[in-house]
Amino acid sequence: MVLLLPLVIDLNESYFSLYGSSLETPENNKCNIFSGSWVPYSKGSFYSNESCPFIAEKQNCFMHGRPDREFLKWRWKPEECELPLFDAKQFLKIVRGKSMAFVGDSIARNQAESLLCLLNSVARPVDITSRYTSKDDKYFKWWFYADYKFTVAILWSPFFVKSSKAYLKDTSFYNAENLFLDEPDEAWANHIQIFDYLIFSAGQWFFRPLTFYENRQVVGCQKCHNLTTDPLNLYGYRNAFRTAFRTVINLKGFKGMVFLVTHSPNHFENGEWNKGGGCNRTLPVNKEDKGFLHPYALEEIYETQVEEFAAAEKEARQKGLRFGLINITDVMLMRPDGHPHKYGHNLDRNVSINDCVHWCMPGPVDTWNQFLLHMIKIGSF
């Protein structure tokens, strides 16, 4: 375990104004909505695990016996303004007649299912997955809100780029993947032209053994000699994001909004994920906590993402495209209490690995969609 000071994101005012992450204060000053703290909120969550049918079993912490509910009684408070609570009616009014895709890994799916739950009090969608793929396909999902003519899709692509998809045959973390860094994954690239909003979110799969290809030639690898001692090679991570952004920018006729959700931190304590590590805290922590757990390589991962996003946003702006940064890394770093821990499965099952990567639903992950609604409302970042 490495205990360090928490990640401090030092980005200037113009950066936040540019990427649509600011609110006007009563004094007409700009407010960075991603700089703040979690404050008590007695009203709790927007929905329950019983009222929402879209919660994946592994994120349904209360169904699996999580006993505490204090982690629900917090809301995100920017330092110099108020972030409006999620308004399902307002969201559906804004997106009427439009379509939205969450592209990425299971963290992207976590956010998409949170959105479905937040909207559930106002409208329920029809599952239209079978129009695009097998209805039993666990990797791709499509829903349609008939009253609003609004479509939501989850396009599974944990690397953004073409891969050997070895994980379909062997789900082991230790199984190597080939990544073709200059070729976008057709699983999402062949669909995005029909969407008005694209939300990209990935990163959790880049810690495993990887072999990198460009022009179908091997150009490098990660953890290809020793899984434990080999350092993290962010070349693949950087170029996967670069290819994803370029694919959107070069798409003819695309005029939608593109969002990047920054890296979602894990919170394993007292051991790594495969060595008994867990996350059994029940309250948020603040930046001043000396016992703050700092996830492995978080700064490097975050900085790589943001650098690629900034370069892509500049190019996109010149073409009249709108890119927005949903900067959740520091926000969620303070929420080690929000993960399933051992409550992502039936407690009578013989499962030794705790989940400190995904987020319980309901829970702090719902705040991501407050950010999303705010940035869609602003529209012109």
Mean pLDDT across the stretch 63-92? 96
Q: Does position 28 have pLDDT exceeding 70, yes or no?
A: no
- Looking at residue 244, its pLDDT comes to 98
- Looking at residue 87, its pLDDT comes to 98
Rounded CA gap, 24 and 54, in Å? 34
Q: Which of 272, 281, 265, 296 is nearest to 352 (CA)?
A: 272
pLDDT tens digits for range 143-155: 999 999 999 999 9
Q: Which of 8, 24, 5, 114 is nearest to 330 (CA)?
A: 8
Q: Does position 343 have pLDDT exceeding 80, yes or no?
A: yes
Q: Does position 5 have pLDDT exceeding 50, yes or no?
A: no
Break the chain into its structural domains and give their ranges: 13-127+156-378
Q: Which of 182, 200, 183, 181 is nearest to 192 (CA)?
A: 200
Non-local CB neighbours of 51 within 8 Å, separated by 6+ positions: 120, 121
pLDDT tens digits for range 160-216: 999 998 776 666 667 789 999 999 999 999 999 999 999 999 999 999 999 999 999
Non-local CB neighbours of 128 within 8 Å, separated by 6+ positions: 142, 143, 144, 151
pTM recorded for the entire structure:
0.91
Q: How far is CA 112 from CA 54, 129, 146, 149, in A?
A: 9, 15, 18, 17
Q: Does position 17 have pLDDT exceeding 80, yes or no?
A: no
- Looking at residue 381, its pLDDT comes to 43
Non-local CB neighbours of 198 within 8 Å, separated by 6+ positions: 100, 101, 103, 192, 248, 256, 257, 258, 259
Rounded CA gap, 374 and 119, in Å? 15
Indicate which residues carry an active-site annotation. Answer: 106, 355, 358
Rounded CA gap, 168 and 164, in Å? 9
